[in-house]
């Protein structure tokens, strides 16, 4: 559900929610097309950290554990992309 809601955020135009659009600000979130799926997965991860972590310190601990696990299994991925 969070994943799909995040897609709605980056596909939503400002005028749809009553915000003024300008020549340079048409979309609610200005996210590069190639980064949209990354954004949605980041929203999912954040929502899980909020659900599982009992306060900021616990969420930081959970995040550190997930980051360490990701580094171990995703070697070779270009993080700059």
Q: What is the per-residue pLDDT for 9?
A: 84
Mean pLDDT to the nearest integer, 70-80:
59
Confidence tier at 80 by pLDDT (50, 70, 90): low
pLDDT at 69: 76
Report the C-alpha gap between 44 and 62 in whole angstroms.
14
Give the CA distances from residue 68 to residues 40, 51, 62, in Å, rounded to whole numbers and listed in that order. Answer: 21, 20, 10
Question: What is the tens place of the pLDDT at every residue in 3-57?
Answer: 899 988 888 999 998 999 888 889 888 899 999 999 999 999 999 999 999 999 9
């Amino acid at each position: 559900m969070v994943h799909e809601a995040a897609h709605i955020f980056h596909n939503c135009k400002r005028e749809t929610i009553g915000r003024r659009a300008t020549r340079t600000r048409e979309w609610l979130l200005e996210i590069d097309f190639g980064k949209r799926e990354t954004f949605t997965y980041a929203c999912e991860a954040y929502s899980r950290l909020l659900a599982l972590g009992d306060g900021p310190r616990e969420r930081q601990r959970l995040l550190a554990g997930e980051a360490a696990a990701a580094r171990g299994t995703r070697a070779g991925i270009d993080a700059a992309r």
